[in-house]
Copies of this chain bind each other. A is one copy, B any other.
Amino acid sequence: MNKAVFFDIDDTLLNTSEFADIARRSAIEAMCDNGLPVEYDEAYDMLKSIIKDKGSNYGGHFNLLTKELLGQEDPFLIALGMTTYHNVKFSLLRPFPRTMAILIYLKSKGYRLGAITNGKNIKQWEKLVRLNIHHFFDIVITSEEVGVEKPDPEIYLEALRRMRCEADKSIMIGNKLDVDCVGAVNAGMSAILVNSTLSDEEKERVNKEDINIIVLDNISDVDTIL
């Protein structure tokens, strides 16, 4: 009974990217409606480029946006952007429709569950807690905590150690072929790719290389094979 399933969080258990994008657009709209002196689309593109440049975990995206456009930070517009972003994001935040059913199914089959995620400790835990699914996971491992990011095998090996289970009895489920699946396979685990559209080149790699990766359209389908 030491079978374990590890999950990536973002875009695997919940649709993080879509929620974040809708929230960013709402924030930009609010800022433009309240005096940010630029067209909506232009402001949105600038914000996207700031996020790309600084990374999504940088704390001052809206600060930089107002500074670039106004020559100095505008506390009202920054607060408006942040508040709108968080309100919209958290009001939308939901697991994928069958995420709960899959987690419950795996528990009923005796699997132990873990989460392995690239990102900041508290931000990643916050998602699990807001969705109220944290109780499903025996362990939660973030790259911030371990000091290396997926696909570095060390983060997978650390997860296996903490879960006290063998690599060959463990499965990683994620939406990124190299980061989630190839990384896990390199640590001796098997892997399931979900919620992902593979390019032809990627499809060829999955088929050619004799690696232990199963491709499913959707996290909803996990109960068809486990």
A residues bordering B, Cβ < 8 Å? 94-95, 100-101, 104, 107-108, 110, 131-133, 135-136
Which of A94, A100, A104 has the most B CB atoms < 10 Å from its CB?
A: A104
User: Copies of this chain, how many?
Assistant: 2
- For the complex, what is the distance from the CA of A132 to the CA of B14, rounded to whole Å? 14
Q: How far is the CB of A141 from chain B (nearest CB, A)?
A: 19
Q: How far is the CB of A86 from chain B (nearest CB, A)?
A: 15
Say which residue of B101, B110, B132 sits within 8 Å of A135 (CB atoms). B101
- For the complex, what is the distance from the CA of A132 to the CA of B130, rounded to whole Å? 11
* Chain B residues closer than 8 Å to A132, beta-carbon distance: 94-95, 100, 131-132
> Quick one: closest B residue to A108, CB to CB?
B107
Q: How far is the CB of A190 from chain B (nearest CB, A)?
A: 22
